[in-house]
Structure 1
Amino acid sequence: MVSNMQHDFVSALSSGIALDDAMEIAQTVLRPLGFDASSYDFSPVPLTHDGEFIVPTVYAMQNTPSDMTDLWCGQHYYAHDPVMDASRETSCPFIWTYRGQQSDIMSRILDQRHRPVVDYLCDTGMESGITVPIRGAGGALATFTAISTSRIDIDDLNNAVSSVGYLAHIFHEAVVKGFPPQAFRTPHVRLTARERQCLQLCAKGLIAKEIAHELGRSVATVTLHLTSATKKLGARNRFHALVLAAHYQLLETTN
């Protein structure tokens, strides 16, 4: 059952609300549930074609240590966070804790690769929480995490799962509408507008001569753009470039 405070939370989250404002509002609801910190991230394309995590385009934290954002985004802790690995495998909210009984999914996920992240969270007292994976159009992935630094037990975590899951989805739907256009473009591959346009037309079946006619450019110029895009994508040939461009959502005309 959703409490009155949670109803107030829903009412306060207007569509397109600033992310930092939404984080503060969310924390007022999470605190009575035993969570005194939180984080949120959004990735339009969460993984490279090789299966490695891409640093999200949107990242926010509330009541966390000052160095945490740099560690996760600047020093690649994000790519070694067991919570993110678990989020690849489930769309359901899940519990994690680094003391006592562990949830089933985290028991399967945890290994030595995650040791720096686990050590940091334990050293800073952020030993338990609930993470909610949220999947969006085109394979986008957001996660909302409620974090506890108190001695919250597994039963309390289990009792809070449905509430945190509900709030996370309401939160995401409110803030995502206020993201700037660049938040929906992967930072992993950077093509020029013309390179993307040439790839988009190539994906429609046009050959270089037809693309040149469509754009009012020479065949040599179009070929140069396609070759440059192929190299930036790390593709072996033009067909491979189209496959990779589709993975990174670069063929969408709205990008």
Structure 2
Amino acid sequence: MLIPPRIMQDLIAAIVESKTLPELKAIMAVLPLKSGLQHAVYHYLGTPAKPLLDIPGFATYPDEWVTRYLENGYVQVDPVVRRGLRSILPFEWSELTIDTPEQKKLFTESQEFDLGKAALSLPVRGLGGENALFTITSEAPDTFSGPQRVNYVRDYQVLGVYVHESFARLNKLIPEQTMELSRRETQCLKLASEGLLGKEIAHRLKLSEPAVRLYLRIARHKLGASSTSGAVALGVRRGLI
């Protein structure tokens, strides 16, 4: 099931404004409940210079499976990870080639934990060159292969990027000043700097007013401003708008 727009906006705002890793993990934990999916996973894969952290990410998988995956070093043979590192395109796990004994062992063991009959992984690339994967799974085997696939990719790729940005910020993987505004955040802030109100910005960009409020809220958070006018001033000073 796709997430309704209003709930999606609230989720993104909560992700962006999370102040601790446990808080971000708690948001991930409720994602399947709000979306009707089985599991959601954010998997941090590191950078070429520093592959992994002590905290690899967040998963709603059973703790026993996560522990086994980490202790057995399955990240080194996982075809999902390998595909995610060499491609930026979304992919379903049914597309993967599983041909080594280690990979077969990994997937055979994973079936004991009912992780889902369908899985869609979305590669994420960060501002500091870091790699990550955002994965969603479903009990229905054809969830991501039908006409709704493009909508799942659109919605959850956005969520994955915001989760990664917050994870990177909270782990200090990139300097605070390198946090960039998205295209929509920049557009909304620029129009606000020209004196347009939320309704006028929405009309100009063909967005809903709640979406405009969300983009401005995220821009304020990223720039460390308490008001839109303050965000505009900081954006101009930093050459962002």
TM-score by length of 2: 0.58
Quote the residue 1:37 is aligned against. 39
Q: Aligned equivalents of 2:43 and 2:14: distance in 1?
A: 20
Task: Note the aligned Cα RMSD (angstroms).
Answer: 2.9
- Partners of 2:173 and 2:88 in 1: CA distance: 25
Q: Which moved more, 1:31-40 or 1:162-171?
A: 31-40
Alignment match, 1:226: none
Question: How far 1:167 sits from its partner (Å)?
Answer: 0.8
Bigger mean CA offset, 171-180 vs 57-66:
57-66
Corresponding residue number in structure 1 for 2:99: 111
Match of 1:24 among 23, 26, 29: 26
Do structure 1's residue 7 and structure 2's residue 9 form an aligned pair? Answer: yes
* Alignment of structure 1 residues 53-202 onto 2, 5 Å: 54-96=51-93, 102-103=94-95, 106=96, 109-112=97-100, 113-126=102-115, 127-148=117-138, 150-153=139-142, 154-155=145-146, 158=149, 159-180=151-172
SS of the equivalent of 1:167 reads: helix
Any stretches of 5+ residues in structure 2 without a counterpart? 175-241
CA distance in 1, matches of 2:67, 2:170: 24
Q: SS of the counterpart of 2:11?
A: helix
CA distance in 2, matches of 1:47, 1:84: 17
Larger radius of gyration: 1
Q: Unaligned stretches of 5+ in structure 1?
A: 49-53, 97-101, 183-255
The whole-number CA distance in structure 2 between the counterparts of 1:167 and 1:39 is 11
Q: Does the 8 A contact of 1:35 with 1:147 survive in 2?
A: yes
Q: 1:156 to 1:124 in 2, by over 3 A?
A: farther
Q: Once the two structures are superposed, what CA deviation does each residue of 1:8-45 show, in whole Å capped at 9, x if it has no partner?
A: 11111234532332233234344444423222232433
What letter matches 2:90 in structure 1?
A: P
Matched-pair identity in %: 19
Q: Per-residue deviation at 1:114?
A: 1.1
User: What is aligned with 1:224?
Assistant: none
The count of aligned residue pairs is: 167
CA shift, 1:73, in A, is 2.2
